[in-house]
């Protein structure tokens, strides 16, 4: 494999994870980070799903588990009434159970520091550095840094978060991709409140929510405010305290105290809009995006951190599978983008219930929270947040022999909605340059279709059966032969069955 020199803009979760795996896979990454040192942004994250799997593969789970928040038996997320009495409470133990014990509540910086520790000896990380401009040629991507220095690399990864600099420089302005979700959010450290123990308490009034939980810093808790508002864009630090005070004026519970404890100058208040980033493509020549830069999902999805690690891992993985970097970037996008799209869709569906706008909505939210705490309904949590790791669940694995208008997949496992999205993206990519697609499906343990994906299957057939000129089904079982017969005209104009040891002929037939 050719060693590539790869610049990564952003030393956050996605950037550091990409650096770790690229180095391990034999490439030469260089990370630049705008901040003067590792950030210590103060908020907690629920960490589960694909990112958890990636962290496991990095061997950092034990370190993270030792630093998790809300340790002990009483850890819970609670919705409280005006007097602080819990109306509904979700025990974190229940959450762990639903997520097969692969769940950690962490400070965001704990995850970042742990990945940094795993990579800092091996990879050059330049703090206080940003990119001023980017140009591309057939041989390289050349950047000019903000100190005027120029340097060329084989590839550039934009892992610089929701307000990505690389995205603005190469793909277009943030407003072209930003989808405001109707909320602002803010958080800051406050002195620890003695009554509060292991519970993350939230108090809701129509259109606004205030919450507080213990951090891992002695004597310090963290607030989280989320409120409905019109999009007024970026709020300068000096105006943040005032903005919060007016949004939370007259709110009950301990909110007045939390506001009184606000840092005076606003410098230490994190405040941003709740905004998704939605793009048609994450690639432009030698430049590619990962994490929030590519597809910020917002805290509503509860998976931005996890998917930052996931995207970085798959990107590095694909760049280790082939010397053709263009192919690697395309396959990366095909594997990961549908997973982002799905989680973004779930977050949009859930957005209105996140901080309900009416009294009735607040009551409904309490009932839903109570329901979820019952064992029988707890699986809803997993479904809502798509808590499975897609490294394990994806049934489609693109075959490296795919080229031109011939697309091949190994199919192993159960087909999920995201597999149909992967297929759709792959086919659409080919249809940009060709009138038709030829498809090879190597059935290697197909376990059927998840019930939720049946609709996708029907839609897929309707949409594409005339555009797929040929489909080759590869397998050895009798029913697989039948599947081939059924495929035309439902999924393709013409279909044929080939035995596993005859796969070369299948490629040749598709290409003829
Ligand atoms: C309040 C809140 C709660 C959240 N809760 C959860 C949760 O429960 N679960 C979850 O999974 N996710 C959660 N998230 C989302 C999660 O934090 C993000 O999705 C995740 O941090 C994205 O990682 P990233 O590496 O893509 O971007 P970031 O973490 O934003 O890192 C980007 C990095 O790029 C750097 N950078 C920016 N501009 C430049 C530049 N010009 N040049 C160089 N470097 C630059 C930044 O300083 C930063 O270090 C939450 C987010 C917030 C705000």
Q: Does the CB atom of residue 302 touch ligand 1 within 6 A?
A: yes
Q: Does the CB atom of residue 387 touch ligand 1 within 6 A?
A: no
**What would the two tokens of residue 78 be?**
């609670």
- pLDDT: is 207 or 349 the higher one? 207
Q: Quick check: 197 and 297 in contact, CB under 8 A?
A: no
CA 409/CA 471 separation, integer angstroms: 11
Which residues lie closer than 8 Å to 368 by C-beta, 6 or more apart? 353
- Is residue 384's pLDDT more than 70? no
Domains within the chain, CATH numbers bracketed: 5-68+104-177+276-354+374-391 (3.50.50.60), 394-511 (3.30.750.24)
Q: Does the CB atom of residue 32 touch ligand 1 within 6 A?
A: yes
Give the atom of ligand 1 at the shortest distance from the alpha carbon of 297. Answer: 19
- Is residue 198's pLDDT more than 80? no
**What distance in angstroms lies between residue 13's CA and the mean position of ligand 1's atoms?**
7
**What distance in angstroms lies between residue 18's CA and the mean position of ligand 1's atoms?**
14
Q: Does the CB atom of residue 291 touch ligand 1 within 6 A?
A: yes
Q: Helix or strand or coil: residue 135?
A: strand
pLDDT 10s digits, 260-304:
999 877 678 999 999 999 999 999 999 999 999 999 999 998 899
CA 334/CA 425 separation, integer angstroms: 6
**Per-residue model confidence (pLDDT) at position 391:** 87
CA 139/CA 119 separation, integer angstroms: 28
Confidence of residue 91 (pLDDT cuts 50, 70, 90): confident
- Is residue 33's pLDDT more than 60? yes
45, 68, 210: which to mutate for ligand 1, most atoms within 8 A of CB? 45
- pLDDT: is 316 or 387 the higher one? 316
- Is residue 350's pLDDT more than 90? no
What are the φ/ψ torsions at residue 85 (nearest 5 degrees)? -85, 135
Mean pLDDT of the chain: 92
Region of 390 on the Ramachandran plot (φ > 0 left; ψ -120 to 50 alpha; else beta):
alpha
- Taking CA atoms, 55 is separated from 64, 99, 290, 421, in Å, by 9, 15, 17, 26
pLDDT 10s digits, 34-87:
999 998 877 999 999 999 999 999 999 999 999 998 766 678 888 999 999 988
**What would the two tokens of residue 93 be?**
């133990």
**What distance in angstroms lies between residue 157's CA and the mean position of ligand 1's atoms?**
15
**Per-residue model confidence (pLDDT) at position 211:** 95
Q: With CA atoms as reference, report the closest residue to 301 among 352, 345, 268.
A: 345
Q: Does the CB atom of residue 165 touch ligand 1 within 6 A?
A: yes
**What distance in angstroms lies between residue 264's CA and the mean position of ligand 1's atoms?**
25
- For 477, the enclosing helix (H) or strand (E) is none
Cα separation of the two ends of the chain: 30
Q: Does the CB atom of residue 187 touch ligand 1 within 6 A?
A: yes
Q: With CA atoms as reference, report the closest residue to 183 among 271, 262, 260.
A: 271
Which residues lie closer than 8 Å to 282 by C-beta, 6 or more apart? 288, 289, 290, 294, 295, 332, 333, 337
**What distance in angstroms lies between residue 345's CA and the mean position of ligand 1's atoms?**
19
pLDDT 10s digits, 443-461:
998 999 988 889 999 999 9
DSSP secondary structure letter of residue 192: P
**Per-residue model confidence (pLDDT) at position 381:** 65
User: What pTM did the predictor assign?
Assistant: 0.90
CA 47/CA 304 separation, integer angstroms: 9
**What distance in angstroms lies between residue 329's CA and the mean position of ligand 1's atoms?**
22
| Strand-pair partners of 280 | none
**Per-residue model confidence (pLDDT) at position 467:** 96
């Amino acid at each position: 494999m050719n060693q590539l020199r790869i610049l990564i803009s952003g030393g956050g979760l996605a950037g550091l994870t990409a650096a770790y795996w690229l180095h391990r896979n034999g490439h030469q990454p260089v990370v630049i980070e705008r901040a003067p040192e590792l950030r210590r942004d103060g908020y907690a994250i629920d960490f589960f799903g694909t990112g958890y799997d990636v962290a496991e593969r990095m061997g950092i789970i034990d370190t993270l588990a030792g630093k998790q928040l809300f340790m002990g038996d009483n850890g819970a997320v609670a919705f409280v009434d005006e007097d602080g009495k819990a109306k509904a409470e979700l025990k974190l133990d229940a959450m762990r159970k639903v997520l097969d014990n692969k769940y950690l509540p962490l400070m965001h910086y704990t995850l970042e520091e742990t990945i940094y520790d795993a990579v800092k000896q091996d990879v050059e990380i330049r703090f206080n550095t940003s990119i001023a401009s980017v140009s591309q040629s057939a041989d390289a991507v050349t950047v000019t840094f903000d100190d005027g220095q120029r340097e060329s690399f084989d590839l550039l990864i934009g892992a610089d978060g929701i307000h990505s600099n690389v995205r603005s420089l190469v793909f277009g302005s943030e407003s072209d991709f930003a989808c405001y979700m109707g909320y602002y959010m803010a958080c800051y450290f406050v002195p620890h409140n003695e009554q509060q123990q292991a519970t993350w308490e939230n108090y809701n009034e129509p259109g606004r929510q205030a919450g507080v939980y213990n951090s891992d810093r002695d004597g310090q808790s963290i607030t989280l405010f989320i409120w409905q508002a019109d999009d007024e864009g970026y709020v300068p630090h000096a105006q943040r305290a005032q903005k919060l005070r007016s949004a939370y004026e007259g709110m009950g519970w301990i909110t007045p105290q939390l506001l009184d404890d606000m840092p005076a100058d606003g410098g230490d208040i994190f405040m941003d809009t709740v905004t998704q980033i939605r793009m048609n493509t994450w690639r432009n020549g030698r430049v590619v995006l990962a994490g929030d830069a590519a597809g910020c999902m917002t805290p509503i999805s509860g998976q931005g951190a996890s998917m930052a690690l996931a995207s970085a891992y798959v990107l590095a993985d694909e760049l280790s599978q082939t010397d053709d970097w263009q192919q690697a970037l395309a396959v990366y996008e095909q594997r990961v983008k549908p997973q982002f799209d799905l989680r973004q869709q779930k977050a949009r569906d859930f957005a209105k219930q996140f901080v309900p706008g009416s009294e009735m909505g607040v009551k409904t939210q309490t009932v839903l929270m109570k329901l979820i705490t019952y064992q029988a309904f707890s699986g809803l949590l997993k479904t809502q947040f798509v808590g499975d790791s897609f490294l394990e669940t994806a049934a489609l694995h693109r075959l490296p022999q795919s080229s031109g208008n011939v697309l091949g997949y190994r199919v192993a496992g159960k087909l999920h909605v995201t597999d149909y999205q992967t297929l759709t993206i792959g086919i659409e990519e080919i249809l940009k340059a060709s009138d038709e697609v030829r498809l090879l499906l190597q059935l290697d343990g197909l376990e059927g279709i998840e019930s939720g994906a049946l609709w996708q299957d029907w839609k897929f057939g309707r949409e594409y059966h005339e555009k797929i000129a040929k489909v080759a089904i590869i397998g050895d079982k009798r029913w697989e032969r039948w599947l081939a017969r059924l495929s035309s005209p439902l999924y393709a104009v013409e279909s044929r069955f080939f035995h596993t040891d005859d796969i070369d002929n299948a490629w040749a037939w598709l290409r003829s």
